[in-house]
Amino acid sequence: MIAAHICSGCAVRDRALCASLDDVELDTLNALGQRRRLTRGQTLVWAGEESLVCANLLSGVLKLSAVTPDGREQVVGLLYPADFVGRPWAELADFTVTALGDVELCVFPRKPFERVLEDHVRMERLLLQRTLAALEEARGRMLALARLSAREKLAGFLLDMADRVQGCRATASGPVTFDFPLTRGEMAEVLGLTIETVSRQLSRLKAEGAINLMGARGITIRDRALLEAA
């Protein structure tokens, strides 16, 4: 089938929410969906507005943010390839969803997508599992913000990002290299640190041989064990 054929070339086919569907079921789902690309700074969903779409993130990184009563933006989470975007059965969007670089998504109108979920129990169950995992991740982030040192926060953040972004290796067992999807200011905001502290800790990890920094955005995880120890 045409839709199933398109999905067979999807980089996150085995990790995204639709991994629970067979080819016939994928054809039904993809009759609703379309590919959409965003560039850095473009917004998919605005907090407080009607929730119109859900999506699978195929490539790139998205940030979830909220605005405080005095107008300041607060980053509350990041979404990586294979993550699900949106909240079925919610009339209004809780957070603003913005691209941190070039992003590609498979987007579905929310209400028809809800009907697909009702007809496919496995996908509905997988969505519940992912929702609970996201809740646990949010709780872990709260603990990190409250209890971990700046060094621990940054080391954990780099390890998580290395595991989830689409990096590259010179050899199968070599160090992974990727580009930061966030500015240092955005990293500081996510981690509850200052820009100066983030820069200082990155320089310290580089001096210790755990990472290598290349230009404004490039990073190589040179010694994962050292980073894990940090």
Contact 117, 124 (CB under 8 A): yes
Distance CA 180, CA 165 (A): 9
Helices (H), the chain: 2-8, 23-30, 110-119, 121-147, 150-164, 184-191, 195-207, 224-229
pLDDT of residue 51: 93
CA atoms within 13 A on the CB side of 71: 0
pLDDT of residue 171: 58
pLDDT of residue 167: 64
> Domains of the chain: which residue ranges?
2-145, 148-229
Q: Closest Cα partner for 94 from 27, 47, 40?
A: 47
**Taken in order 49, 90, 105, 145, is the CA torsion positive or negative?**
positive
Distance CA 206, CA 197 (A): 14
Contact 54, 44 (CB under 8 A): no
- 36 forms bridges with which residues in the sheet? 105
We find that the CATH architecture of domain 148-229 is Orthogonal Bundle (1.10)
- What order do you get walking across the sheet with 168-169 strand by strand? 168-169, 176-179, 218-221, 211-214
Distance CA 188, CA 185 (A): 5
pLDDT of residue 105: 93
Under DSSP, the state recorded for 13 is T
CA atoms within 13 A on the CB side of 170: 5
Per-residue pLDDT of the chain (230 residues; tens, 9 = 90+): 344 455 666 777 777 777 777 777 777 777 888 889 999 999 999 999 999 999 999 999 999 999 888 888 888 889 998 889 998 999 999 999 999 989 999 999 999 988 888 887 877 887 888 788 777 877 777 776 678 899 999 999 999 888 887 666 655 667 888 888 888 888 898 888 999 999 999 999 999 999 999 887 889 999 999 999 99
**Looking at domain 2-145, does it have CATH number 2.40.37.10?**
no
